[in-house]
Amino acid sequence: HLVTDPKYGFLRQLGLTIENPGLYDGRWGGSGKVIESISPATGKVIAKVRTSTLQEASNAITEARKAWPQWALLPAPTRGEIIRQIGEELRNNLKPLGRLVSLEMGKILPEGIGEVQEFIDICDYAVGLSRMLPGSMFPSERKNHALLEKWNPLGVIGVISAFNFPIAVYGWNSAIAMVCGNGIIWKGALTTPLVSIATTKIITGVLERNGVPGSIACLVTGGADVGETIVNDSRIPLVSFTGSTNVGRNVAIKVQERFGKCLLELGGNNALIVAQDADLEMAVRAAVFSCVGTTGQRCTTTRRLLLHSKIKDEFLGKLKIAYKCILERLGDPLDDNVLYGPLHNQHALDEYKQAIDSALQNGGKIEFGGKQINRVGFYVEPTIISGLSSKAEIVQKETFAPIVYVFEVNSLEDAIAFNNSVQQGLSSSMFTKNLGNVFQWIGPHGSDCGIINVNIGTSGAEIGGAFGGEKSTGGGRESGSDAWKHYMRRATITINYGNELPLAQGIKFE
């Protein structure tokens, strides 16, 4: 167990031991099977976690529901003050928690810390929101009547999240949902349970210090069956699901069957277009981070490079040189100076290999990489593949690995059509200096994605905007802008403060 190794002292700082309870429903527990959390860099066991049974998951919903009324009745600025303290506590734990993200997920340390920072940032945002949650008053057509719109919390919402952002996605959901007055039941990925436990300890510690039941932020640990318990429970009015499109589709159908609401953040198949007039140096630098950053395991990772025929060879040449440099910076994600870590687990490694085989069988040519790296952990070469048809099955699907497919395009129209030719609609980006191109790209016949970038890569969003994508990416929006609306129900209220009873539209019924 790495948890007993003095080199990983930050694990004990976060309150983790050799075997950890994976259930929090006001108290820590869990009597499901014991699972091991594995370090992607070494294949070694970090610590063990006792998962939740299905009955325990259901009980946790009951506990969160019991605690919820007290939370919902607090004034929003009071909830905001508690979220501010959560942000402070995350700041105090920025480095150890960031290290844990890096150790358990496998992303490099600056990105692990960046994820915790994202949670801190959204806490700040939520604090502001707590004093700005709007309501409206519209002019009524009836004399002595007031027409209002008020937003109320939904209740206890379910958050089911993916392995690749084991804390930030929960941060986006929990900070906004809680400030809106909701309780939460969270199920993180089965392979990142320690991040879920350490995060929940921090949050519930702050809640309890403020005299609020910790069960406002319940945690369950487990796989698909524990997730389904949340999905199928009609006491959960909203399920915020982040994960693959296939799982998300079934989640959406099941939640819809019981007329619950879903917030879906599913897979992407993101393209980066480099126009003829682009600043190639900038475009290459952006492409490197977008294609190989987080070892290709971001939902916004660039999967398709659409290069204008006039600059294709030069761009590709520069990209390959950059990829060579990246290989020299491959290593343990916790080590300084490392830019490129392992894939998350054996499953991810298998998917990488299958994608390469499929690309080769379909006429693809490996321009760079293509192989597993011979060292412990799940390391693979960052890979560039050319020569495939845009319609090839492997190009149409999201492979969660550092593989990018390169294509030649000859016009802006071709590039936009190519960008839009996949089922997914998450992120997209174009490098150009031409203002006409930019407005075509962001206009009604431009990119059909939820995220449309210009002269930056496809990945690395900020919290201020609404994050999410169209088509089979699910249509959800999280984080900034007006994403808070997902976590509240809108009531239209008409108040008659006069002595008469006029009907709308002047209807007479007397």
Q: Which residues are marked as active site?
A: 265, 299
* 187 is an interface residue for ligand NAD by CB under 6 A: yes
Residue 456 near residue 277 (C-beta atoms within 8 A): no
In the structure encoding, which two tokens stand for residue 277, read together? 């007039």
Query: Pick from 76, 108, 116, 189: which binds ligand NAD (CB under 6 A)?
Result: 189
Nearest residue to the partner ligand NAD, using Cβ: 227
The residue range among 15-23, 71-79, 262-270, 353-361 that interacts with ligand NAD, by the rule CB under 6 A, is 262-270
* 311 is an interface residue for ligand NAD by CB under 6 A: no
* 174 is an interface residue for ligand NAD by CB under 6 A: no
Which residue, among 90, 108, 87, has the nearest Cα to 99 in the 3D structure? 108
Number of other CB atoms surrounding residue 368 within 10 Å = 20
Rounded distance between C-alpha atoms, residue 82 and residue 69, angstroms? 16
Helix H or strand E encompassing 135: none
* 326 is an interface residue for ligand NAD by CB under 6 A: no
Minimal distance, residue 370 CB to ligand NAD, in Å: 22
- Of 227 and 331, which CB lies nearer to ligand NAD in the complex structure? 227
* 504 is an interface residue for ligand NAD by CB under 6 A: no
Query: Pick from 183, 243, 402, 446: which binds ligand NAD (CB under 6 A)?
Result: 243
Minimal distance, residue 393 CB to ligand NAD, in Å: 16
Rounded distance between C-alpha atoms, residue 479 and residue 463, angstroms? 6
* 82 is an interface residue for ligand NAD by CB under 6 A: no
* 165 is an interface residue for ligand NAD by CB under 6 A: yes
Rounded distance between C-alpha atoms, residue 300 and residue 268, angstroms? 6
Minimal distance, residue 192 CB to ligand NAD, in Å: 9
The residue range among 264-272, 326-334, 371-379, 409-417 that interacts with ligand NAD, by the rule CB under 6 A, is 264-272
The residue range among 40-48, 155-163, 310-318, 497-505 that interacts with ligand NAD, by the rule CB under 6 A, is 155-163
The residue range among 185-193, 319-327, 407-415, 492-500 that interacts with ligand NAD, by the rule CB under 6 A, is 185-193
DSSP string, 226-239: HHHHHHH-TT-SEE
* 173 is an interface residue for ligand NAD by CB under 6 A: no
- How many residues touch ligand NAD under the rule CB under 6 A: the total is 30
Phi, psi at residue 495, to the nearest 5°? -120, 125
Window 22 to 61, contacts with ligand NAD (CB under 6 A): none
Number of other CB atoms surrounding residue 493 within 10 Å = 11
Minimal distance, residue 322 CB to ligand NAD, in Å: 24
SS3 helix, strand, coil % of the chain, rounded to 5? 40, 20, 35
Window 379 to 398, contacts with ligand NAD (CB under 6 A): 398
3-state secondary structure of 405: strand
Query: Pick from 160, 220, 452, 466: which binds ligand NAD (CB under 6 A)?
Result: 160
Strands, DSSP E only, in 10-77?
Answer: 19-21, 23-24, 28-29, 34-38, 45-50
Rounded distance between C-alpha atoms, residue 287 and residue 361, angstroms? 26
Minimal distance, residue 115 CB to ligand NAD, in Å: 11
DSSP state of 317: H
Helices (H), 210-279: 224-232, 245-257
Minimal distance, residue 266 CB to ligand NAD, in Å: 6
The residue range among 2-10, 102-110, 224-232, 318-326 that interacts with ligand NAD, by the rule CB under 6 A, is 224-232
Query: Pick from 47, 162, 311, 452: which binds ligand NAD (CB under 6 A)?
Result: 162
Query: Pick from 267, 331, 382, 425: which binds ligand NAD (CB under 6 A)?
Result: 267
Rounded distance between C-alpha atoms, residue 118 and residue 464, angstroms? 11
Minimal distance, residue 243 CB to ligand NAD, in Å: 3
* 362 is an interface residue for ligand NAD by CB under 6 A: no
* 262 is an interface residue for ligand NAD by CB under 6 A: no
Contacts 24+ apart (CB under 8 A), 409-412: 409/273, 409/306, 409/307, 409/308, 409/309, 410/308, 410/309, 412/275, 412/437, 412/440, 412/441
Window 444 to 483, contacts with ligand NAD (CB under 6 A): 469, 473
Minimal distance, residue 347 CB to ligand NAD, in Å: 8
DSSP string, 424-447: EESEEEEE---HHHHHHHHSTTS-
Name the region of 358 (left: φ>0; alpha: ψ -120 to 50; beta: rest). Answer: alpha
Strands, DSSP E only, in 212-332?
Answer: 217-220, 238-242, 261-265, 270-274, 302-308
* 268 is an interface residue for ligand NAD by CB under 6 A: yes
The residue range among 97-105, 160-168, 365-373, 378-386 that interacts with ligand NAD, by the rule CB under 6 A, is 160-168
In the structure encoding, which two tokens stand for residue 408, read together? 């030649």
* 251 is an interface residue for ligand NAD by CB under 6 A: yes
DSSP state of 295: G
* 427 is an interface residue for ligand NAD by CB under 6 A: no
Minimal distance, residue 30 CB to ligand NAD, in Å: 16
The residue range among 221-229, 312-320, 365-373, 412-420 that interacts with ligand NAD, by the rule CB under 6 A, is 221-229
Residues contributing to the site for ligand NAD (CB under 6 A) = 160-165, 187, 189-190, 223-224, 227-228, 231, 242-244, 247, 250-251, 265-268, 299, 398, 400, 426, 469, 473
